[in-house]
Chain A
Amino acid sequence: MAVIARSRPAAVSDRRRPTPDIILFVAMVALSAVGVLMVYSASRTRLEALGMDPTGEMVDQAIFAAAGLVLFFVASFIDYREWRNIAPFLYIATVLALGAVFLFAPGSARAQRWIPIGSYQIQPAEFAKMTMIMVLATVLVPAKEEGMSWRRLVQTIVVVAIPAVLIYMEPDLGTMLVFAFFTLVMLFVGGTTLRQLTVLMTAAGAGILAIWKLELLLPYQIERLQSIFNPSAADPLGAAYNRIQSEIAIGSGGIFGKGLFLGTQTNLDFVPAQTTDFIFTAVGEQLGFVGGALVLLAYAVIMWRLVVIAVNARDRYGVLVVTGIAAMFAFHVYINIGMTVGIAPVTGLPLPFMSAGGSTFVTMAIALGIANSVWLRRSPVPGETYIV
């Protein structure tokens, strides 16, 4: 923890000329660059086979990345405390957008997650992660630092439950789990007692059991969750296929990998969704353990910076927002990479800054931009005290 605490003198000395968190930014740009490259390596053979421009998917991703970087700065310039003022509007907009996907549902399609805008599709659930973090922080700020009232706890749960249920109905189990995770972390940091936490966890456990027993999960969701516990017993071409294939691809990469563009598994279509959910298999197979560990290190650096920002935030709202961002980020990285190496269920959570897709990239960039905004405004106004 020394590395986190030691940043205090700098926080004070930077008071007059605040500089953005360069390390955070560099780590994000590096990941984006590797991501664009990986999307290219994993999509070019398939696109070529289809007679399309092999760089097509890569160019799209590069555009998203560029847009994301711009939005990072935009979010940095906006005083994060402004969000607190418009929290009710953010919340309403989020719920409406989540409801709207059902209007654009193409008939009997299984998943209804997108709102079409031009030739692109927006996933409101991605943006909802960020807006809900801001809304939750707003709700939790007035809570007592130690020992939250039961009333506030219930209030928080109700606030998060409405969009969570909408997302569940899409259905998007992964995003719902993200909501659950950052809510839990924010409640903990926000001051719940251990007893409240215990009650909450018990209730959650009972809820999961109820969902299981009442068969509210779709069969494919159950299969995917089950496949993590016993992949080989399941039909290797069925539910466990994705998991096994990605594990094989990553494992076959070895220490140094097969070399860029030389990944047989990713290039030969064995790994499904290889540019989106399973982009990390392209890293693991082509760049090996060394490449994978470096990517993991870059994510760890981002986590480290987020914690430093949370510790140095000037107010309780800042602490809660950055805590939520850190939780969301950590959960995405853990579940996504964990799924590709066989220790997490296949729930379809993208890998921040690497998985092909605009909505996620933009959401994550804005999230880090907001964290950076907290960092830029960490120095207290005279007379104001830190509230942590």
Chain B
Amino acid sequence: MKLSWRLTWMVLVFVAMFGVLFTRLWFVQVAAGETYDRQADNQNVSIIRTLAPRGNIIDRDGIPLATSTLEPWIAVDRKQIPLEDEERVIQQLSGLLELAAVEVSAAFEDAGSGARFLLAAVDTKAEFYVLEHQDELPGVGIEEVPVRRYPQSDVMAHVLGHIGRPSPGDLEENPNLDPNSTVGKSGVERYYDESLQGTPGFVANQVNAAGKVLKPLDERATRAGATLQLTTDIDAQRVLEDALQEGVDLANQVKWATGEYTNLAERSAGVVMDVTDGSILAMGSYPDFDPGLFVSGLTQREFDVLLERKVFSNLAIQALYPPASTFKAITYTAAVEKRLFPDGTLSADDLIECSARLNAPFTDASQLVWRNWTWPNDDGYQDLHTAFERSCNIYFWQIALRIWNDFKGTELENVIQDWARAVGMGERTGIDLPYEAQGIVPDRELFAEWGDEQPWRVRPEGWLGGDLMQTAVGQGAVLSTPLQLATAYATLANGGTFWQPRIVQRSFDTDGQLINEYEPVAVRDIGIAPATVQALLGDMRRVVTAGTAASAFSDMGADAYRVGGKTGTAQMGQECEGVGEERVCKDRDNTAWFAGVTPIDNPRYVVVVVVEEGGSGGRVAAPVARHIMQYLLGLEPTAISDPKVEGD
């Protein structure tokens, strides 16, 4: 008897078959066992998550700005719906919710087979229908879902921000996030999202394949997010927002009256900040929006229209404009502190001629002829105080020329810019809101950098004397957000302490227990001499009583002596679109600024107002700021009307 070659081959085939089985068994159970184990756990444990209500946001007096309420939603558990009943359930839900069946069906598809998801909010009638017809609607239930509400509708919208479903990026960053939950997309909602989120709860049950609960495994109650108390005041905020809108109306009214304009004004922004600790009392941006829209859902078209109008941008921290003459307060204090006055003068009290134009003695590519805003008229002999009051460019240009002549090419040529940065310009203030813009304070170094990286932005010659002259009056490359200008004025007014602006002051848990006190942060103190501060404040008062804003503040009568400020009228340059031969450029109207301090003899608040392409600062922005300062002083704010006098 022998083992024939045929039987040998047969045995080899059998051995191979068993070998394959053994190897595969090893792979599935030993090599990849853990992966399968996890899948098994996923299957036989059903976890029903309950969303945590977002924390409330209240103003400094406790008035609710954002709250969460529990509202009934239809929750669908596809696992519990027999496949053959699904179509009928979809039809029934479609009728109940008055939604097209295809939409309901699409929601089922999106959630995936076997998923549990929230379908739609329901009214009481539909809620009872579902509860009474459980046998007809397997897998359909009612769940109380926390919904964000904004009781003040559009008031403080930009500060509060809005919420939405987590983006793919959010989910990647935080894998524990429930895709059904909401996250802050902008404003405080975004910056403090972690505190506001709270902890979602869950009920974990062991289930069989049909989704039937066999035994409870674990559960955790939801914990609502923290309540945030802002530094803002709802009443001040209302006054500011109304005034900002009226500012835009005023700008357009002036444009119609004078006929001198290219574009209508559309946007404005304002900040009211406490100079003693950086707390934001009010912050507004016009146009605004109702954050509640994002809760009920916007169509793409609605969203696009709003986006086109830039309503979602918080212009107070995101928009950049040349600060123009408001910057003169910075040049002013730098000149006094560093004792850098125009050639031929020894102190702030020495006079120079504020002529209609200045011929600059440059031999480089700089502009040679510089016109004052009063051109073709000259404005007499002025010292620094009068130059500030009258916003005389000639005087401030002469300061720049003095610096250029004495210190060109040395570290000291940046004396104005270094001072500007020290009071808060050119870098983010660090306010607790997202998307803050940085601003620009230009110097030789920055121009060299741009020359390398963005050559279209600068002349090939680089940093020249003309650029320093522009900088001294807040034009040229200088850009600032309204908030940055507010911090600069606050720092100048309080004697040199740069307080980091802040919007949230405390957080509480749901029992009202204090969780966190957000202390004000003094970033630095540059120690400005009290005499300098007093001189500046006095000259700011002269601006509103006798200077460029006098007409705008005339309504206040003697009370105008209790406040002070500085106007600014920024030249905006052209707005260009497209590239190459298709490039179309359009002139833009001046942007109107006013930066004020109140009360002027004991500074408490700084008020900054900007009306984009609004025209003259003294004519358009000053009345808006005056209205707000009247409110802050406890006076009856008078109407925002055209003072009929231009002021730079």
Contacts and interface: CB of A to CB of B under 8 A. Distances in A.
Interface in B5-50: 6-11, 13-14, 17-18, 20-22, 24-26, 28-30, 32-37, 39-41, 43-44
B210 A300 contact: no
A220 B41 CA distance: 29
Contacts of A292: 25, 29
A293 B7 contact: no
A333 B15 CA distance: 12
Contacts of A251: 28-29, 32-33, 35-37, 39-40
A323 B10 contact: yes
Nearest to A46: B208
Interface residues of A, number: 53
Contacts of B43: 248, 265, 270
A249 interface: yes
Q: Which of B20, B21, B113 has the most CB of A within 10 A?
A: B21
B207 interface: yes
A296 B1 contact: no
A23 B7 CA distance: 21
Given A250-B29, A250-B36, A338-B21, A388 B44 contact: no
A1 B35 contact: no
Interface string A1-30: 100110010010000000000000000000
A83 interface: no
B352 to A, nearest CB: 83
A1 B28 contact: no
Interface string B406-435: 000000000000000000000000000000
Contacts, number: 145
Given A253-B29, A388-B2, A269 B39 contact: no
A341 B28 contact: yes
Interface residues of B, number: 43
Interface stretch (A72-80, A87-95, A303-311, A369-377): A303-311
B114 interface: yes
B369 interface: no
A329 to B, nearest CB: 9
B271 to A, nearest CB: 56
Nearest to A380: B1
Given A237-B114, A293-B22, A307 B11 contact: yes
Contacts of B28: 247, 250-251, 284, 341-342
A311 B1 contact: yes
B209 interface: yes
Q: Which of B6, B30, B39 has the most CB of A within 10 A?
A: B6
A386 interface: yes
B576 interface: no
B81 to A, nearest CB: 12
B3 interface: yes
Interface string B193-231: 000000000000011111000100000000000000000
Contact of B29 (A5, A8, A255, A319): A255
Contacts of B41: 252
Contact of A330 (B14, B206, B210): B14
Contacts of A288: 29
B209 A269 contact: yes
B363 interface: no
Secondary structure at the A interface, as helix, strand, loop or mixed, is helix
B25 A255 contact: no
Nearest to A265: B40
Contacts of A289: 25-26, 29-30, 33
Contact of B3 (A4, A255, A296, A342): A4
Contacts of B114: 237
A270 to B, nearest CB: 5
B300 interface: no
A156 interface: no
A251 B24 CA distance: 10
B454 interface: no
Contacts of B2: 388
Contacts of A333: 17-18, 21
A236 B113 contact: yes
B4 interface: yes
B583 to A, nearest CB: 51
A326 B12 CA distance: 13
A284 B114 CA distance: 26
B113 A388 contact: no
6 contacts: A188-B6, A251-B28, A254-B29, A254-B37, A288-B29, A311-B1
Given A249-B36, A265-B44, 11 more contacts: A8-B1, A188-B6, A248-B36, A251-B28, A251-B36, A252-B36, A254-B29, A270-B208, A296-B25, A307-B11, A330-B17
Cβ-closest 8 pairs across A and B: A251-B36, A252-B40, A289-B29, A268-B208, A269-B209, A254-B33, A252-B37, A334-B17
Interface of A: 1, 4-5, 8, 11, 185, 188-189, 191, 235-237, 247-255, 264-265, 268-270, 284, 288-289, 292-293, 296, 299-300, 303, 307, 310-312, 319, 323, 326-327, 330, 333-334, 337-338, 341-343, 386, 388
